[in-house]
Amino acid sequence: MSYFAIALVVLAIVLLFSVVKIVPQGREFTVERFGKYTRTLTPGISLLTPFVERVGRRMNMMEQVLDVPQQEVITKDNAMVKVDAIVFIQVMEAAAAAYRVENLPYAITQLCMTNLRTVVGSMDLDEVLFQRDNINSRLLTVIDAATEPWGVKVNRIEIKDLTPPADITNAMARQMKAERERRAVITEAEGEKQAAIARAEGAKQSAILQAEGRKEAAFRDAEAREREAEAEARATAMVSEAIARGDVNAINYFVAQKYVEAFAELARNPTQKTVIVPAEMSGLVGTIAGLGELVGLAKEQQQGRTDGRAAAASPARSTPPRPPRGSVPRT
């Protein structure tokens, strides 16, 4: 009886483990009845029909990363490059992934390698090196469409490494160096050009300002000479009127003016060591006295003209104006 009881306990335990199935999170199990797929077990606890149903495939439903091995690919312009990649996949339908393809990771890896050779081989080397995003998008579109019947979603595919031959790498390095040097020369030339333009603009503005200054100075000088000429003309006119009236002091005015100017110029000459003073200084004094009388006479004449205008304005006064003092009546 004891052996029979032990056998029953063992049978019950085996039956329990074959009937009760616990599916962990992120996994799905397929159920087969006499070898035929019937249903899929989702995460949680499930019961199977003993001796009739069994678990077929245990599928990982989480996102997986597959490494695409490195391979040599000939580009469109006959350059040999080494390319490898990584692909991110996720099983969306457990039954399709389990029963429509054998060895799903290997199948997707081989699919990525063949399509990688196709895409890279249709591009030039420069396009391969500088258009990785284009390669990734093209591979993603092709591989995702190919794996859709398998119940797999390709989320991303990335080119991990691109290695051109050594001679092409050296040529690219020299080309990059030449391009950098060309840009440096162009930048330096542009800087010198801008500096030359700035200096020319500065010289232009300086010349314009100097010309404006000379123009303004010439205008001021001309205006001063004009004012001086007008004053000289008025003085000459006054002296001429005095001479016409017979006043000898008016003639002495010009003589004294030239005399004083000549004497002052003689005294300012830096090469003149000796200044000769005229013996008859009384003549100069008399001339200056005559100038004083001429000035006084001019003032009296101005006063007489003012009184005459006032008398003409008031008819009640009939007294004739007094002749200027010192004037000699004509016969």
In tens, the pLDDT along 24-37 reads 999 999 999 988 99
Give pairs for 163-168: CB < 8 Å, separation 24+. Answer: 163/81, 163/82, 163/83, 164/79, 164/80, 164/81, 164/125, 164/129, 165/79, 165/80, 165/81, 168/79, 168/125
**Residue 184 DSSP symbol:** H
Using N-to-C axis directions, what is the helix angle for 248-268 and 281-313, rounded to 10°? 130
What pLDDT is attached to residue 41?
92
The answer to whether residues 157 and 139 touch, using CB atoms and an 8 Å cutoff, is yes
End-to-end distance of the chain based on CA atoms, in angstroms? 193
Higher-confidence residue of 259 and 291: namely 259
Identify the H or E element spanning 169: helix 166-244
Give the mean pLDDT of the chain.
Answer: 79
Q: How many CB atoms lie within 10 A of CB 303?
A: 11
Residue with tokens 């996102």: 63
The answer to whether residues 59 and 91 touch, using CB atoms and an 8 Å cutoff, is yes
What pLDDT is attached to residue 93?
92
pLDDT band at 6; cut points 50, 70, 90 = confident
In the chain, what's the furthest Cα-to-Cα distance? 193
Identify the H or E element spanning 196: helix 166-244
pLDDT exceeds cutoff 90 at 153: yes
Which residue type occupies 213? G
Q: pTM score, two decimals? A: 0.53
pLDDT tens-digit series, residues 66-103: 999 999 988 888 888 999 999 999 999 999 999 999 88
What pLDDT is attached to residue 110?
93
Q: How does 192-216 read in b/e, with b if 16+ C-beta sit within 10 Å? A: eeeeeeeeeeeeeeeeeeeeeeeee
**Residue 291 DSSP symbol:** H
Q: Please say whether the dihedral angle defined by the alpha carbons of residues 298, 300, 303 and 309, taken in this order, is positive or negative.
A: negative
Alpha-carbon span 54 to 21, nearest angstrom:
10
What pLDDT is attached to residue 278?
55
Tokens of 28: 């799905």
The answer to whether residues 90 and 62 touch, using CB atoms and an 8 Å cutoff, is yes
Burial class (CB in 10 A: 0-12, 13-18, 19+), 112: buried
Least confident residue range of 3-7, 71-75, 102-106, 253-257? 253-257
Alpha-carbon span 117 to 144, nearest angstrom:
16
The answer to whether residues 64 and 89 touch, using CB atoms and an 8 Å cutoff, is yes
Strand partners for 87: 66, 157
> Strand 44-47 relative to strand 80-91: parallel, antiparallel, unpaired?
unpaired
**Residue 43 DSSP symbol:** S
pLDDT exceeds cutoff 60 at 330: no
Tokens of 176: 């990059």
Higher-confidence residue of 110 and 311: namely 110
